[in-house]
Structure 1
Amino acid sequence: MEKKIKETLSKYSGIFSVVIKDSFGNRISINEDKVFLSASIIKLYILSCIPKSDYSKIIRLEDRDKVEGNGLLKSLNSGLEFTVKDLVYFMICLSDNTATNILIDYLGMENINRFIKENGYCDTILGRKMMDSEAKKMGKDNFTSSKDSEKVLDILCNDEDCLDMLKNQACNNKLHLYIPEEEILAHKTGELPSVEHDVGRLYFKNGWVDILVFTQGLKKNIDGILINNEIGKIVYEYYKGAVAN
Structure 2
Amino acid sequence: MRDIKSEINVLAARLGGCVSVAVRDIKNAFDFSYNDTERVWSASVIKVPVLVEACKRLADGSATRDMEFELQAEGRAPGSGLLRYMHPGTKITYEDLMLLMITVSDNHATNMLINYLTPKAITQTMKGFGYAGTEVQREIYDYEGMRRGEYNWIAAGEIADLCKRIYCRQAAGGEFDDLALQIMSRQCSKTLLRLYLPDEVCVANKP
Q: Which runs of 5+ in 1 are unaligned?
A: 190-245
Structure 1, 106-115 or 140-149: larger mean CA deviation: 106-115
Q: Which residue is 1:184 aligned to? A: 202
Structure number with higher strand proportion: 1
Q: Which runs of 5+ in 2 are unaligned?
A: 170-176
Does the 8 A contact of 1:65 with 1:101 survive in 2? no
For 2:22 and 2:122, the matched residues in 1 are separated by 25
For 1:25 and 1:61, the matched residues in 2 are separated by 46
Q: Which residue is 1:7 aligned to? A: 7
Which one of the candidate residues 61, 72, 79 is aligned to 2:82? 72
Q: Structure 2: which amino acid aligns with 1:186?
A: A
Q: 3-state DSSP class of the match of 1:140? A: coil
Determine what percentage of the aligned residue pairs are the same residue: 29
Does the 8 A contact of 2:24 with 2:164 survive in 1? no
Q: Which residue is 2:173 aligned to? A: none
Aligned length: 189
Q: Structure 1: which amino acid aligns with 2:160?
A: E
Per-residue displacement from partner, 1:139-193 (whole Å, max 9, x unpaired)? 211111012112211222232111111111112321122112221111111xxxx
Structure 1 residue 153 corresponds to structure 2 residue 157: no
Q: Which residue is 2:53 aligned to? A: 49
Q: Structure 1: which amino acid aligns with 2:91?
A: E
Which one of the candidate residues 98, 110, 115 is aligned to 1:105? 115
For 1:2 and 1:84, the matched residues in 2 are separated by 45
CA gap of 1:2–1:21, structure 2 versus 1, over 3 A, is: farther
Q: Which residue is 2:186 aligned to? A: 168
Deviation at 1:9, TM superposition (A): 4.5
Per-residue displacement from partner, 1:19-45 (whole Å, max 9, x unpaired)? 122225221111121111111111111
Deviation at 1:8, TM superposition (A): 4.5
Q: Structure 2: which amino acid aligns with 1:13?
A: L
For 1:38 and 1:2, the matched residues in 2 are separated by 27
Per-residue displacement from partner, 1:37-89 (whole Å, max 9, x unpaired)? 11111111111112123222111111124211010110111111111111000
Q: Which residue is 1:29 aligned to? A: 33
Structure 1 residue 60 corresponds to structure 2 residue 78: no
Q: Structure 2: which amino acid aligns with 1:101?
A: N
Aligned positions of 1:86-97 closer than 5 A: 86-97=96-107
Does the 8 A contact of 2:44 with 2:105 survive in 1? yes
Deviation at 1:5, TM superposition (A): 5.8
Does the 8 A contact of 1:2 with 1:28 survive in 2? no
Q: Which residue is 1:137 aligned to? A: 147
Deviation at 1:134, TM superposition (A): 2.1
> TM-score, structure 1 length as denominator?
0.72
> TM-score, structure 2 length as denominator?
0.84
